[in-house]
Structures are given as C-alpha cells and as structure tokens.
Amino acid sequence: MKNTQQRITELEQQIKELKARWPKHSVQPWLLQELEDLEDELGALKNNNATHNAKEH
C-alpha cells in the first residue's frame, strides 16, 4: 500500500512541475498528452487505493 501512496505523491509532484512549465500560449500537444497520461494514472491509483481502503474496513 505504501508504494501506491508514494506513486500518488510522485504523480502529484510531476503534474505540479509540468504545469509550472506550461506556456501561457500555444501549448504543445505533447504537453497536453503528458498531463493527460499523468492525470489518468493518478486517478486510477486513487480509485484503486480508495477501493482497497473500503474493503479493509
């Protein structure tokens, strides 16, 4: 479970760093794709983590 929480923290940090590099205009498609990929993985991990926690209680 700790590995999942560590990965969630890493993904949140990567998203924060990516958004800090975000240009004000003309966002490149690869930046959008990278953000989407990170957010998808983060959402899946959070969902799995919540489901796992609910089963433990």
pLDDT tens digits, 4-38: 999 999 999 999 999 999 888 888 999 999 999 99
Whether the predicted pLDDT of 48 surpasses 70: yes
| Residue 20 or residue 55, greater confidence | 20
Determine contact, residues 41/10, Cβ cutoff 8 Å: no
Whether the predicted pLDDT of 55 surpasses 90: no
Largest CA distance in the chain: 47
Q: Look at the block and give the residue holding tokens 């975000």.
A: 22
Q: Look at the block and give the residue holding tokens 């498609």.
A: 29
The pTM (predicted TM-score) of the whole model is 0.79
